[in-house]
């Protein structure tokens, strides 16, 4: 199979990832729940994972690296730590439902959207500058659109938030592992990411990077610390990590992080961008196919969307699937992004690349779409 759905989950992993997860399943217990060897081995693995993530993402304190089950979990912690009933939150027009749905259900919360046309970062920054008025209590922004691969100007938006004293939550679901993220330089309150995409970890893993501001537990329960106390500990990571850890997942995630550090984020990004440009160039030459990519290559990550005139995007995806090419079609859990780009009614077909895809696979996609468009 040609797998081009890494924006959802990377399927091809470094061999060390499943090996590490399998080893942990049979040799590691629960960290912080005993002094025996399996518990201590699990604790060492968890700390090594925190330390490696802190080094990769520019965070000086590894204890501010929180393990989550996915980016959605982390974003819920971040949003519910900072946003109170009646608050106003400013978000980009490219946010995922993992941001908008938690905000929508919070009592009395007003959402302001900094919306700008696709691939116009200067206009988007201007909309943020205009929208960041006195009543805004928090800003949430996507680093890379999961639909279009659009790299948003988050460094400038973060600087704007710092200058105006407003907490900044960053969703790095599509950039972690490819685009450098320096947490303390950004001054972000939180940055949330999955483990199973660009970090090449197992599904069911994620990381939340915490700044120095207030954090509120999303779940309460056992932590292995301060057991006589009936409230959650006030220190990290325990305050946000109730219950038994997913140690096989964390072991696999550590292996994925080490792979990214070894190969290098810049090398992975260049590989994915090269494949994206190659596929986009081929698709753009097919009559009836519209490709959504940035005219500025440096603003395009390893994700692209396209449509085929007269053919429903779901049908295109299904037909590609029958040819053993895996893509994703529809709204991609991000209707706000489609609204900003003018594709809300039609949706798009999305192809997304990883470090393990090849130029030949990009060419196979182009050939298959060409056949579909001629029908």
Catalogue the active-site residues.
333
Tokens 């518990």 belong to residue: 39
Closest to 112 measured CA to CA, from 103, 121, 120: 103
Q: Could you give the 3-state DSSP secondary structure of residue 151?
A: strand
Q: For strand 206-210 and strand 289-292, is the pairing parallel, antiparallel, or unpaired?
A: unpaired
* Structure-derived torsion over alpha carbons of residues 121, 112, 178, 253, reported in degrees to the nearest 10: 180
Which residues, including other chains, have CB under 8 Å from residue 338's CB and lie 6 or more apart? 147, 331, 332, 344, 347, 348
Strands in 136-142's sheet, in edge-to-edge order, are 65-68, 206-210, 190-194, 168-171, 136-142, 88-92, 110-114
Q: How far apart (Å, rounded) are the C-alpha atoms in residues 17 and 256?
A: 6
Q: How far apart (Å, rounded) are the C-alpha atoms in residues 128 and 132?
A: 6
Closest to 317 measured CA to CA, from 8, 97, 11: 8
Contact between 328 and 8 under an 8 Å Cβ cutoff? The reply is yes
């Amino acid at each position: 199979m040609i797998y081009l759905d890494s924006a959802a989950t990377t399927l091809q992993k470094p061999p060390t990832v499943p090996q590490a997860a399998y080893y942990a399943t049979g040799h590691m217990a629960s960290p912080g729940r005993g002094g025996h060897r399996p518990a201590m081995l699990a604790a060492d693995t968890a700390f090594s994972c925190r330390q490696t993530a802190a080094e990769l993402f520019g965070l000086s304190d590894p204890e501010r690296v929180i393990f989550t089950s996915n980016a959605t979990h982390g974003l819920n912690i971040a949003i519910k730590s900072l946003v109170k009933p009646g608050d106003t939150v400013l978000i980009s027009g490219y946010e995922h439902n993992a941001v908008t749905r938690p905000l929508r259900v919070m009592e009395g919360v007003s959402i302001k959207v900094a919306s700008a046309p696709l691939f116009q970062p200067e206009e988007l920054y201007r909309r943020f500058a205009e929208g960041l008025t006195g009543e805004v209590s928090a800003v949430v922004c996507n680093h890379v659109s999961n639909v279009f691969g659009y790299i948003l100007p988050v460094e400038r938006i973060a600087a704007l938030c710092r200058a105006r004293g407003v907490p900044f939550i960053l969703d790095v679901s599509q950039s972690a592992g490819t685009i450098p993220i320096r947490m303390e330089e950004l001054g972000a309150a939180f940055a949330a990411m999955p483990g199973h995409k660009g970090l090449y970890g197992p599904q069911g893993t994620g990381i939340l990077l915490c700044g120095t501001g207030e954090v509120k537990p999303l779940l309460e329960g056992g932590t292995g610390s301060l057991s006589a106390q009936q409230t959650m500990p006030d220190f990290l990571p325990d305050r946000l990590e109730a219950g038994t850890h997913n140690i096989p997942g964390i072991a696999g995630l550590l292996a994925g992080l080490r792979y990214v550090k070894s190969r290098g984020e810049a090398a992975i990004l260049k590989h994915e961008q090269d494949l994206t440009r190659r596929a986009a160039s081929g698709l753009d030459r097919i009559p009836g196919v519209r490709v959504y990519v940035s005219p500025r290559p440096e603003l395009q990550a390893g994700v692209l969307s396209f449509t085929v005139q007269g053919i429903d995007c779901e049908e295109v995806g299904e037909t590609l699937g029958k040819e053993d090419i895996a893509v994703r079609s529809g709204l991609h859990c991000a209707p706000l992004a489609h609204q900003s780009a003018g594709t809300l009614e039609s949706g798009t077909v999305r192809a997304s690349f990883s470090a393990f895809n090849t130029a030949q696979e990009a060419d196979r996609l182009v050939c298959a779409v060409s056949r579909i468009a001629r029908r």
